[in-house]
Structure 1
């Protein structure tokens, strides 16, 4: 993300993909002063570069050059001066592309940049994780439920309040393939079920999840969905299982004590792995859904094959 810094107050501001400056209250960054226009300038990210377009009566200085009703490309190290006073001078710290982010509402204003998948405070011990679903919407998983995020929404985690900001340029012609109907999960189990391999088939394409501990979690959820399908449960209620029952079930399967932290960590690792599976893995990030302490496997198209004693699969 691109940052600018006020040289007098040392305030640091994140540039949004379209960022308005001026005296009026409608601006994203308000600059007081009689020589500042209500709508003074707009900084925007266009064709992989940042540009400042002056809209003011008195003009704007960039690198000491005054522009008036003109546009100029910005570069790191440029100084932008909107008025005569020293507190209207800003330094461009970098010209990185815009990106969605979270900002702490605490005094330190900590910022978390959101990549395709992000965990906080770290991937080893995630308290919350953020990921995108196939519709490009951001979601947060707090270990109890998943929440779809909207611009300006406040969240509470890590003992403080945060605000989520959408901040990116999306190609209007971007085509997101509808792959959910064409997707099949194939579970391959060894005789003793200690080894669980998962492959995701999308038409003629095959994505391999390999053999990992999180496969056991996905298998348990798939079996719950399968049982509900056989019982004729309604779609809205298919596959839901409480975290308490899931940890108990996994404990019996894995012959060890399983807690909520263990399950949440495996889900985090699964989502991270899906994000790494090109080209469509990221579109399956919501394969595990949550609601009020319950979880479920989200797909109806799956098959569970178990190896028999002679080495073939049933």
Structure 2
């Protein structure tokens, strides 16, 4: 992969360790399992012949950063050669040399624990720290959404549906790509279990709709606590999807098939293009995320599969809105067909 620098990064100390090249001044982000060597697939490619193809690896062990030499010519910290194969703790301001005492020195500038992030593959893009919901390539063009599911796994969702992200996966669009770095692989199962126990057992959505359906407010019920999500333009889209789920449920369809709506049909019903709909979905997800007490355990109520989208909740209440005949007569709205 070569060198990933902190270009365009404002908060250099947030969620990463940094080494500085003593010759060039270049800063390199250390990933949770970071290989140094001459091979082009290493995280940091070394360009001098004294270095091995895979020379050393930096590892986060849950408490601190360790360096392990796996080379022929050795790795040196502050002039002392490491024992090959053994892990050695590294400290701030340490001088590291790969292959001998005459080669370029690297200096430890930061030892912050790792965080999940997207590192730029395409030149000129910023580093993105993952927190809540992230859309790519931008909020104005949300082709891809990245979020944590209730199990704490990072998911990537595109127009074909969600899939689990693995370390090193490429995400983004054709001309703007990032690499996924999972900085949370050491999260303990017991911690996740504690969070699951604290998550609300009941999540309900109460829609209040004006007669002409120009105004839609949503109140979120989390067990016995009410959270007012207010009036938002994107709530009308959520209302349409919620109605479709209710209608399918009333017809006796299985929950796995309730609520699915063709995206092209949804675009026609709303008179909007797919990008505009993606923006509204992102805004609702972000609003829901901010209201939910444990973001990492937030249920994904907006779901996708190839060519279709749905709102999934078995606890929906809709008050107000137009009757079916009124909808037929209202030119600026569309009849909600099953």
Q: TM-score of the superposition, structure 1-length normalised?
A: 0.76
Classify the secondary structure of the residue corresponding to 1:194.
Answer: coil
The aligned counterpart of 2:253 is: 233
The aligned counterpart of 1:272 is: 286
- The root-mean-square deviation of aligned C-alpha atoms, in Å, is 3.7
2: CA distance, partners of 1:271 / 1:258: 19
Q: Cα offset for 1:185?
A: 1.5
The aligned counterpart of 2:208 is: 188
Structure 2 residue 168 is matched with structure 1 residue 152: yes
Q: Cα offset for 1:276?
A: 1.8
Sort the Cα spacing of 1:9 and 1:266 in 2 relative to 1 into closer, same or farther, 3 A: same
The aligned counterpart of 2:318 is: 304
Sort the Cα spacing of 1:185 and 1:92 in 2 relative to 1 into closer, same or farther, 3 A: same
Q: Cα offset for 1:87?
A: 4.2
The runs of 5 or more residues in structure 2 that have no matched partner are 1-15, 323-338
The aligned counterpart of 1:137 is: 153
The aligned counterpart of 2:117 is: 101
Contact 2:137 2:172 in 1 (8 A): no
Contact 1:247 1:258 in 2 (8 A): yes
Structure 2 residue 257 is matched with structure 1 residue 242: no
Structure 2 residue 32 is matched with structure 1 residue 17: yes
2: CA distance, partners of 1:59 / 1:155: 34
Q: Cα offset for 1:51?
A: 3.1
1: CA distance, partners of 2:146 / 2:305: 16
Residue by residue over 1:120-156, the C-alpha shift from the partner in whole angstroms, topping out at 9 and shown as x without a partner, is: 3433443433211212122223355433322233345
The aligned counterpart of 2:224 is: 204
Contact 1:24 1:39 in 2 (8 A): no
Q: Cα offset for 1:211?
A: 1.7
Sort the Cα spacing of 1:149 and 1:41 in 2 relative to 1 into closer, same or farther, 3 A: closer
Classify the secondary structure of the residue corresponding to 1:200.
Answer: strand
2: CA distance, partners of 1:148 / 1:41: 26
Contact 1:27 1:39 in 2 (8 A): no
Q: Cα offset for 1:90?
A: 1.8
The aligned counterpart of 1:311 is: none
Structure 2 residue 277 is matched with structure 1 residue 263: yes
2: CA distance, partners of 1:90 / 1:181: 51
Sort the Cα spacing of 1:173 and 1:281 in 2 relative to 1 into closer, same or farther, 3 A: closer
Classify the secondary structure of the residue corresponding to 2:110.
Answer: coil
Structure 2 residue 190 is matched with structure 1 residue 170: no
Q: TM-score of the superposition, structure 2-length normalised?
A: 0.71
The aligned counterpart of 2:19 is: 4
The runs of 5 or more residues in structure 1 that have no matched partner are 251-256, 309-314
Residue by residue over 1:194-247, the C-alpha shift from the partner in whole angstroms, topping out at 9 and shown as x without a partner, is: 222212222223333222122111111110001111111122221000112212
Q: Cα offset for 1:88?
A: 5.4
Sort the Cα spacing of 1:55 and 1:260 in 2 relative to 1 into closer, same or farther, 3 A: closer
Sort the Cα spacing of 1:172 and 1:218 in 2 relative to 1 into closer, same or farther, 3 A: same
Sort the Cα spacing of 1:154 and 1:71 in 2 relative to 1 into closer, same or farther, 3 A: closer
1: CA distance, partners of 2:188 / 2:240: 39
The aligned counterpart of 2:133 is: 117
Contact 2:152 2:296 in 1 (8 A): no
2: CA distance, partners of 1:73 / 1:207: 47
Classify the secondary structure of the residue corresponding to 1:235.
Answer: coil
Say how many residue pairs are matched: 298
